[in-house]
């Protein structure tokens, strides 16, 4: 099925870890939605961009078949599908989104004597990510047996179904609660914006570009502050040295005050009270720090 309308469709997880942050990101990119009665579809009111709310595992398939042009999904889900699909066209990762961070890791019982990767040879490893695990075992030249489970992977060793597990970890609390210790990282993941492998018609391609630019803009404002101050012109070099700025600051002359300047600088969050006090000591005054909501280069 291909999506023949001129509206862009973005697949987003309906409920789960990525659901809230995905919609929040689209809203920060300026999209306004009206929800359908069954809450499975969000109609874009200010741009021809709609959201389809689905299970995360369905997102790669929707992109491959072209029902949706874009999707927000864990890189783990996307890559598992890609490895599992051989040479078939697969969705491309457009932007790493910085939330939903986790790692696919091998864990073994705390009491296990396993100490090196070679010790995994010949063991049974339970996972819901057989393709990612197989790729890693291959790359490490290890021969372990993969036991595919679709849930509750962490209890497999206790049930005697496996000697080790390969599962997603974020805080590590689940491993600890199941008396498992993390042993090796197989894959690092976070939520990504992915695109259908099908070529979009020109109008949709432009819309995709526009949405990507807005998402990039919403992201680049994260944690960025705009610092504004005035200072004697002679203090500029010292002030610039102290600023945790991303780029050289903008410097402006002030009408009728030839010895003074106004300075604006985009700074990282590392801008704290100590920085401001130091700047004041160097002669700056009228210091102001503002949150940056969005940026467009």
Binding interface with ligand PRT (CB under 6 A): 13, 16-18, 55-57, 74, 76-77, 100, 102, 167-174, 189
Q: Which residue is nearest to ligand PRT (CB)?
A: 74
Size of the site for Zn ion (CB under 5 A): 2
Residue 18: name its binding partner from ligand PRT, Zn ion, none (Cβ under 5 to 8 Å by kind). ligand PRT
- If we measure between CA atoms, which residue out of 129, 132, 102, 81 comes closest to residue 16? 102
Taking the complex as a whole, the smallest distance from the CB of residue 141 to ligand PRT amounts, in Å, to: 27
For residues 5 and 150, which CB has a smaller minimum distance to Zn ion in the complex?
150
**251 within 8 A of 236, measured Cβ to Cβ:** yes
Q: Strands 70-74 and 8-13, how do they pair?
A: parallel
Q: Output 186 or 284, the one with its CB closest to ligand PRT.
A: 186
User: Can you tell me which of 7, 17, 47, 57 binds Zn ion, judged by CB under 5 A?
Assistant: 57
3-state helix, strand, coil in the chain (%, to 5): 30, 35, 35
Cβ(180)–Cβ(126) below 8 Å: no
106 binds, among ligand PRT, Zn ion, none (CB under 5 to 8 A by kind): none
Q: Which is nearer to Zn ion, 13 or 196 (CB)?
A: 13
Please say which residue, 19 or 295, places its beta carbon nearer to ligand PRT: 19
- The token pair at 117 is 């990767």
| Residue 260: HSE in the Cβ half-sphere, 13 Å Cα cutoff | 12
- Lookup: tokens for 218: 């919403």
**Closest distance of CB 84 from Zn ion, Å:** 15
Name the H helices within the chain. Answer: 19-28, 59-65, 75-84, 130-139, 173-177, 202-220, 236-242, 273-281
Binding segment for Zn ion (CB under 5 A), chosen from 35-43, 53-61, 91-99, 173-181, is 53-61
Q: What is the DSSP letter of 249?
A: P
- Determine which residue in the list 26, 52, 53, 56 makes contact with Zn ion, applying CB under 5 A: 56
Rule CB under 5 A: which residues touch Zn ion? 56-57
């Amino acid at each position: 099925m291909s999506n023949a309308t001129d509206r862009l469709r973005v697949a987003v997880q309906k409920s789960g870890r990525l659901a809230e942050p995905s919609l929040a990101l689209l809203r920060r990119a300026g999209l306004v939605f009206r929800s359908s009665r069954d809450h499975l579809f969000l109609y874009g009111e200010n741009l021809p961009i709609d959201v389809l709310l689905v299970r995360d595992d369905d997102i790669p398939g929707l992109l491959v078949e072209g029902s949706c042009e874009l999707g927000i999904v864990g890189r783990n889900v996307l890559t598992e599908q890609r490895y599992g699909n051989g040479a078939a066209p697969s969705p491309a990762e457009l932007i790493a989104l910085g939330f939903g961070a986790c790692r696919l890791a091998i864990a073994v019982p705390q009491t296990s004597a396993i100490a090196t990767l070679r010790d995994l040879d010949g063991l049974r490893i339970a996972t819901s990510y057989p393709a990612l695990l197989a790729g890693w075992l291959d790359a490490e030249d290890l021969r372990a047996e993969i036991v595919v489970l679709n849930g509750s992977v962490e209890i497999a060793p206790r049930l005697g179904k496996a000697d080790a597990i390969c599962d997603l970890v974020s805080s590590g609390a689940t491993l600890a609660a199941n008396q498992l210790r993390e042993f090796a990282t197989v894959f690092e993941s976070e939520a990504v914006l992915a695109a259908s492998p099908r070529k979009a018609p020109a109008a949709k391609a432009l819309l995709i570009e526009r949405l990507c630019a807005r998402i990039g803009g919403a992201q680049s404002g994260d944690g960025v502050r705009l610092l504004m101050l005035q200072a004697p012109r002679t203090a500029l070099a010292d002030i610039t040295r102290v600023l945790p700025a991303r780029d050289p600051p903008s410097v402006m002359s002030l009408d009728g005050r030839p010895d003074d300047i106004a300075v604006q600088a985009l700074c990282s969050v590392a801008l704290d009270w100590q920085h401001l006090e130091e700047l004041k000591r160097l002669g700056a005054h009228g210091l102001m720090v503002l949150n940056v909501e969005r940026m467009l280069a």
